[in-house]
Each structure stands twice: as C-alpha cells, then as structure tokens.
Amino acid sequence: MHILDITQNSTRAGASEIFIEVLENRSEDTLTVSIKDNGSGMDQDTIDNVLNPFFTTRTTRKVGLGLPLLKQNAERSGGGLSIISKPGKGTEVIAIFGLSNIDRPPLGDIAGVIVLTAASNPEIRFVFHFKNEFTDYLFDTVEINEVLDGVPINNPDIVLYLRSMVDQNIGRSV
C-alpha cells in the first residue's frame, strides 16, 4: 500500500514518468523500495515538513499519513527513509527495510499495484524494476504499449495478463 500511496502522490504532482524499484538483498538483509518521478517536486520547506502527519498540501483533508507511516514502518524494521526532491525536477522516495525483521510489513500484491496503477494512468510511463539474487525483472509501459500495438493497456484482458506476467517474473504466484 505504501507504493500505491507514493505513486498516487506522483500522479497528483503531474509526473509523466514514475520509476519504481524493489531490491531484495539477502546478503545485506535489506529490502529497498525506491519511487522516483519527474513531477513538480518539493522545495526544502515542504521536504522538511512532509514527514509530519499533520502537514499536507492537499485541500481535501488536514492530515497526510502516507510518508510518515512509510518512515515509521521502515524504521521499525531497522531501516530508514530518505526524500530527494527539487522543484520542477521531481521527487525520489527511498525506503530501506530490514528484510528479515519481523516488523517489516509484507511486500503484498506488488504485481496488482504496478499493473493497476499503470492501467489507471495510461498516459504515464511506469517503469518497475525488481531484483533479488534469482531475478532481475523490468516492466516498462513504453515497451508494453509497443507490443500491444494499439490495444489499450487498461483493457481488462490485458490487465489480467500483465498481472500474471509480473507475478511470474518476480517469482510470486497470484
């Protein structure tokens, strides 16, 4: 759910490209999740405040829990969170979790999140990179749309196929 929340922040920030990377490193006992976009970015004052749950740039509610909860979960598992952003250049959120730590939340339905986010935003380029000692997989909507040759990426049959394809390629089953 953290990945979904951050990618929604990216789409609201006007990103046309979103890069999601999940790296499992058993030798270092880390799970690194990085989400980088080319959206509107944040100034230093916003970066300094964005981890405060009572700070948000949204006008629909008075709290912003996404990044504070991500930071809390990363730290609880022995990791941490960093944010790199520049106005007009985009934002990168990097969360590092202790891979074997009992307090690390499960990765969850990563294939569903990636495919449904891409299908919900067909005008945005999504690149998903997953790597561990067994797999090095890249999902890029530019390449997928070329292969689809005009069939929309949000076609229900395509969505089901892509979800299964991502699951199989990262070594998980639906």
Which CATH number do you get for residue 38? 3.30.565.10
DSSP secondary structure string, 71-138? HHHHHHTT-EEEEEEETTTEEEEEEEEETT-TTSPP---HHHHHHHHHHH-TTSEEEEEEE-SS-EEE
Q: What is the pTM of this model?
A: 0.89
- 55 shares a domain with 15: yes
Do 15 and 65 belong to one domain?
yes
Tokens of 43: 């100034």
- pLDDT tens digits, one per residue of 65-122: 678 889 999 999 999 999 999 999 999 999 999 999 999 999 889 999 999 999 999 9
Residue 20 CA to residue 16 CA, distance in Å, equals 13
Residue 41 CB neighbours (<10 A): 20
Number of other residues whose CB lies within 10 A of the CB of residue 22: 20
Domain end, chosen from 102, 118, 136, is at 102
What's the domain range around 116? Answer: 108-174
In which band, very low, low, confident or very high, does the pLDDT at 55 lie, cut at 50, 70 and 90?
low
113 plus 94 within the same structural domain:
no
Residue 108 φ/ψ region, left for φ over 0, alpha for ψ in the -120 to 50 degree band, beta for the rest: left
Q: Does residue 91 sit in the same domain as residue 115? A: no
Which residue reads 């005008």 in tokens? 123
Same domain as 150, residue 73: no
Q: 97 and 21 in one domain?
A: yes
Q: How many domains does the chain have?
A: 2
Question: Among the three residues 102, 124, 146, which one is the final residue of a domain in this structure?
Answer: 102
So what's the pLDDT on residue 48? 82
Least Cα distance to 53 among 72, 73, 43, 67 occurs for: 67
Whether 18 and 9 have beta carbons less than 8 Å apart is answered as no
Say yes or no: 50 and 93 in one domain. yes
- The answer for residues whose C-beta is within 8 angstroms of residue 63's C-beta and 6 or more apart is 53, 54, 56
| 95-110 confidence digits (pLDDT tens) | 999 999 999 999 889 9
Same domain, 23 and 62: yes
Q: Does 114 lie in the same domain as 98?
A: no
Q: Which of 82, 102, 122 is the C-terminal boundary of a domain?
A: 102
Based on the domain organization, do 88 and 133 belong to the same domain? Answer: no
Query: 124 and 54: one domain?
Result: no
**Do 5 and 114 meet the contact criterion of CB atoms below 8 Å apart?**
no
pLDDT digits (tens, 9 = 90+) for 12-49: 999 999 999 999 999 999 999 999 999 999 998 888 88
Residues 17 and 85 placed together within one structural domain of the fold: yes
pLDDT band, residue 56 (cuts 50/70/90): low
In the predicted model, is pLDDT for residue 173 greater than 50? Answer: no
